[in-house]
Structure 1
Amino acid sequence: MNKLMSAAMAASLAMTALGTGFIPLAQAEQVKVPVMSQGDRESIKLPDTGQTRETVRKRFGDPARTSGPVGDPPISQWHYDDFVVYFEYNHVIHTVARHSR
């Protein structure tokens, strides 16, 4: 029984030391990057807000896939390898670059 109590006390002391900083712990820094600052939007050509579907198709070709329209006003998406284009009716309202793979 004494060995069991000694082991429990040793474990308790170790946990206390960890919690109070007596034993050095690894630390990591968290870097927060705003969503609009992620990726290198300058190195990839993207459709501009206000462009028509026809202009986007002429400049970038057919999308790999499409989805929508959904909602009111109708929002649809054109998915390309490097970005997704969001349309409201017939005009670009936003383009989002994909993360590098």
Structure 2
Amino acid sequence: MDQRTSPFFSRFARNLSAIGIGVALVMGAQVASADELVMRPDINQAKPGSTYYVHGLSMNQITKKFGQPSRKLAPDPAKGTKYQPPITRWVYPEFTVYFEHGHAIHLVKHHKRPK
């Protein structure tokens, strides 16, 4: 019996091709997700000492650093609800600062939506 026509070789070839297709699909998915991360850089990961590092600053310190926001949104959820802590947002033209109990926890840069 020829090696290429044996049942073992036929099954081996099928399994090998299935594994190859699976690896190609996984690698393609990883590349797509990596591209998405690179395409959306933002200032959420600002390092201490940088302009956009706000973690732990009070509302007064944020006002001194960036000026008055264009909008101050009320705490969400409202006081007295079971969902705590309330989160307050201050919206600036290029970013939003999030506060928890009067201290900044995060700054998120606004992204332009693709058309």
Question: TM-score surpassing 0.5?
Answer: yes
Unaligned 5+ runs, structure 2: 1-30, 78-83
Corresponding residue of 2:99:
87
Measured in 2, the distance between the counterparts of 1:87 and 1:77 equals 6
Aligned equivalent of 2:62, options 41, 51, 56: 56
In 2, Cα distance between equivalents of 1:92 and 1:48 = 6
TM-score by length of 2: 0.51
Q: Distance in 1 between matches of 2:36 and 2:104?
A: 28
Relative to the length of structure 1, the TM-score reads 0.57
For residues 47 and 61 of structure 1, the distance between their equivalents in structure 2, rounded to whole angstroms, comes to 15
Asked if the contact 2:97–2:104 (Cα under 8 Å) also holds between the matched residues in 1, the reply is yes
1:33 maps to 2:37: yes
Paired residue type of 2:36: K
- Partners of 2:97 and 2:53 in 1: CA distance: 7
What secondary structure does 2:56 align onto? coil
Question: Could you report, residue by residue, the CA deviation over 1:17-71 in whole angstroms, capped at 9, with x for unpaired residues?
Answer: xxxxxxxxxxxx953217xx833537x9325100000000011110000112012
Q: Whose helix proportion is higher, 1 or 2?
A: 2
Point out where structure 1 has 5 or more consecutive residues left out of the alignment: 1-28
State the superposition RMSD in angstroms: 2.7
